[in-house]
Amino acid sequence: MAQSVHTSLLVIGGAEDKAGRATVLRRFVRLAGGRKARIVVIPTASSLAQEALETYAGVFGRLGAAQVVAVDPASRRDAGSEALVQAIEHATGVFMTGGNQLKLSQRLVGTPLADAVSRAHARGAVVAGTSAGASIMSRFMISLGADGVTPRQRTGQLTSGLGLLPDVIVDQHFDQRARYGRLMSMVAGSPNLLGMGIDEDTAAEIRDGRNLTVLGTGAVFIVDARTAVSNIAEARRHAPLLISGAVVHSLPTGTTFDLHTAQLIGFVEKRPDLRIKAASEEPADTG
């Protein structure tokens, strides 16, 4: 009998700890095989791709990964390169950095390289992304949008993503950039999709496309608007939206959650090391 394959995604809200305990990145290396890990870093979203690559290669090496290589297509044509595809085919872990998710969408989605990432995920390699690299895991990702607490009409834009997490819209830097409003407005317009907002230095580990576990120093925010009432079809541009009856879940580290039923599975109290970061500690990006 063939052994069943379990899939893993690590969806990171950005600005994850790289110098201290590196809880989130340490988990990624462990999921990728620890000292046997063969990791591919895709720094394409970043405006400082080489710097991002060097940073993550250093961290993953310090955490024990056996091999770290880069895959950075300069164009959609490059994303058809057999050499780049083969690098993904041999990886046990794929990591997409932060930056501009539109660059990722333009260069990856619908290409042989994106297909290779999907195959890697399906065969059991862990696929992780931080900030922009987290957004693109959705089938439909937030590519532009205004920050703020109040949901408003037409304050966001959805673009095609990789589809590794098909029934969820992901937003990142969630608490730090006050993105509650734009996530709420996105799910009001697509109530069949769950909204997932992830704080910085926090990750949603998703197993088999369903079971979510939270780790890191922040929280994961889930919005379920499937039975909500909204005026999004009639509201004027930039007007505050009516969204009544949405169910929200704030999930700190130690929480497990079922994405299919949108229900809490369990919670184990944990005491993460809380970090207060200055804005200057992390390079700015549009994610």
pLDDT, mean over the chain: 94
Residue 258 covered by a domain: yes
Residue 2 covered by a domain: no
Alpha helices (H) along the chain: 23-31, 49-62, 82-89, 101-107, 112-122, 132-135, 180-189
DSSP strand E in 121-254: where? 126-130, 140-145, 156-160, 168-171, 194-198, 202-207, 211-216, 219-224, 229-230, 243-244, 247-252
Q: What is the DSSP letter of 80?
A: G
Residue 287 covered by a domain: no
- Residue 273's pLDDT is 62
- Residue 155's pLDDT is 84
Confidence of residue 272 (pLDDT cuts 50, 70, 90): low
- Amino acid, res. 122: A
Residue 231 covered by a domain: yes
pTM, two decimals, is: 0.94
Residue 120 covered by a domain: yes
- Residue 270's pLDDT is 79
Give the Å distances, CA to CA, from 46 to 43, 74, 129, 175.
6, 12, 12, 22
Q: What is the CATH number of the domain that holds 36?
A: 3.40.50.880
Domain count, the chain: 1
Say how far apart CA 95 and CA 251 lie, in whole Å.
Answer: 24
- Residue 72's pLDDT is 98
Other CB atoms within 10 A of residue 29 CB: 27
Give the domain range for residue 170.
Answer: 8-266
* Beta strand pairing call for 168-171 and 194-198: parallel
- Residues 211-223 have pLDDT tens digits of 999 999 999 999 9
Unique residue bearing structure tokens 């950075």: 72
Asked whether residue 1 carries a pLDDT value surpassing 90, the answer given is no
- Residue 156's pLDDT is 87
For the annotated catalytic residues, the residue numbers are 131, 173, 200
| Mean pLDDT computed over 236-241 | 96
